[in-house]
Structure 1
Amino acid sequence: MKSSPFSSLSNIIDPGDALGEVLFGLIMALTWTVGSRLILEQEGLNVRELVIATIGCNVAWGIIDAVLFVLGTTFYKSRRLRLFRQIKAAKSEASALTLLEKEFPIEEVPFAAKAADRDALYRSLLALAGRADPVKVSLSKADLGAAIAIFLLVSATSLPAVAPFLFIANAELALRVSNLFLILLLFVTGYAWASFSGGRPLRAGVTMICLGLLLVSIAIALGG
């Protein structure tokens, strides 16, 4: 059985993170196109400038998001190495267990663990840390692949925003179609999010539209 694009993408980047990047890109593109409607009503619209600005904005933020992902991943790995060294240097088993409980709190996960099971988990982690050796913090091919995926996801969301202007001569009609495409993709993003997380897809899709439009309104109102 051939794997779908979504399953292939989930092997590179967490589905929740991927959908979050798509949502971010859609909001950026929608902010440009909705804001352009105000310009169209006041002084006319320069389609070429809008297309270049929309693509340029999303590409720029795709680069920024990818770099931030690399920095965040490096920080995360360095923090784990620091924890490992703290456990090794702990003066007592109780101190080491406290470090693990603070770093990996299971009270936040959606299940109630018994005290004995929780204690067994942390003691197992402590035993593993005691037998393991530190490794050099470095970015893996998977990390770089995820960064590239983030860049492509944010950048690609500009395409449905600018595509109508390439095929429709009437700028106002193209702008309406562009906005419709982006709003539809907000729904699809919410639907997919709920499908992955076990929520209600239709409700999530509508909620994502409302949330996206609210964020776009805030961005425009604040001059974004």
Structure 2
Amino acid sequence: MAFGRPYITEVIDPGDALGEVLFGLIMALTFTVGSRLIFTQEGFDVRELIVGTIGCNVAWGIIDAVLFVLGTVFYKSRRGRVLRQIKSAGSEQEAISALRKEFPLDSEPLVSVAADEDALYKAMLDLARRGSPAKLRLSRDDLLAAFIVFLLVSATSLPAFIPFFMIGNADLALRASNFLLIGLLFLTGCAWAHFSDARPLNAGITMTCLGLGLVGIAIALGG
């Protein structure tokens, strides 16, 4: 906690947050790079570019926030269903099988022995049997996380327009805008590495190449 307020990563998973930033940057780059490609053909309207890019990112920010809320409701509902399934299981083995299916350890980055896994699932089973399914409701943190999703997607379009307020030549400003967004792709990759086991340089280069590749696909398909 900082100054009594939660960090973003305490409310939303860092991978989800960085994924939203990546999505917002790709959306913005699709507009700015696409504008660069048609610059000499149809002329260039800075105001139209700014309004279009911000409008698109805000719209998708709202959509992503709503989808995040729906995903949260689904997740909580599913966990409640699993808990009821465990409580109604006909045998301990059936209940543990349900736990293994919902919380598999084989996909985790650890190596464990069978005896330890059995002990863990039995402890989880004891805890589940003593508890009861909570009433399905969205918490304050859930709504805050959805709002953060909206902000991350929407706000990533804003840095693209800084060069247009600092450089008088629209063509040069557009070039600078594209380079700025590409730099932010690299920084997003470095931030990704901070929360994972990757090397910042490798993650930054990978994220940049991935982002540009997706931008190219979006433009090629008319997105």
Structure 2 counterpart of 1:195: 194
Task: Quote the Cα distance in structure 2 between the aligned partners of 1:110 and 1:11.
Answer: 22
Letter of the 1:207 partner, please give it.
T
Letter of the 1:195 partner, please give it.
H
Identity %: 67
RMSD of aligned alpha carbons: 1.4
Measured after TM superposition, the shift of residue 178 of structure 1 is 0.5
**Equivalences, count:** 221
Structure 1 counterpart of 2:46: 47
Q: Secondary structure at the match of 1:166?
A: helix
Structure 2 counterpart of 1:12: 11
Alignment of 1:22 with 2:14, yes or no, is no
Structure 2 counterpart of 1:149: 148
Measured after TM superposition, the shift of residue 165 of structure 1 is 1.9
Task: Quote the Cα distance in structure 1 between the aligned partners of 2:130 and 2:87.
Answer: 10
Letter of the 1:175 partner, please give it.
L
* TM-score, normalised via structure 2 length: 0.96
Task: Quote the Cα distance in structure 1 between the aligned partners of 2:91 and 2:110.
Answer: 29
Structure 2 counterpart of 1:78: 77
Structure 1 counterpart of 2:125: 126
Structure 2 counterpart of 1:216: 215
Alignment of 1:139 with 2:124, yes or no, is no
Alignment of 1:95 with 2:94, yes or no, is yes
| Contact preservation (8 Å) 1:161, 1:182 | yes
| Contact preservation (8 Å) 1:191, 1:205 | yes
Task: Quote the Cα distance in structure 2 between the aligned partners of 1:179 and 1:66.
Answer: 26
Task: Quote the Cα distance in structure 2 between the aligned partners of 1:12 and 1:134.
Answer: 22
Structure 1 counterpart of 2:203: 204
Structure 2 counterpart of 1:170: 169
Task: Quote the Cα distance in structure 2 between the aligned partners of 1:18 and 1:154.
Answer: 9
Task: Quote the Cα distance in structure 2 between the aligned partners of 1:14 and 1:127.
Answer: 28
Task: Quote the Cα distance in structure 1 between the aligned partners of 2:133 and 2:11.
Answer: 25
Measured after TM superposition, the shift of residue 12 of structure 1 is 2.1
| Contact preservation (8 Å) 1:189, 1:205 | yes
User: Deviation per CA, 1:60-104, whole angstroms, max 9, x where unpaired?
Assistant: 111011000000000000000000111111111111111111111
Task: Quote the Cα distance in structure 1 between the aligned partners of 2:92 and 2:208.
Answer: 51
Larger mean CA deviation between 108-117 and 156-165 belongs to 156-165
Q: Secondary structure at the match of 1:197?
A: coil
Structure 1 counterpart of 2:57: 58
| Contact preservation (8 Å) 1:54, 1:162 | no
Letter of the 1:148 partner, please give it.
F
Task: Quote the Cα distance in structure 1 between the aligned partners of 2:29 and 2:2.
Answer: 31
Structure 1 counterpart of 2:110: 111
Structure 1 counterpart of 2:185: 186
User: Deviation per CA, 1:41-72, whole angstroms, max 9, x where unpaired?
Assistant: 21111111100000000001110110000000
Q: Secondary structure at the match of 1:37?
A: helix
Measured after TM superposition, the shift of residue 3 of structure 1 is 4.8
Measured after TM superposition, the shift of residue 120 of structure 1 is 0.6
Larger mean CA deviation between 161-170 and 71-80 belongs to 161-170
| Contact preservation (8 Å) 1:28, 1:58 | yes
Task: Quote the Cα distance in structure 1 between the aligned partners of 2:107 and 2:90.
Answer: 28
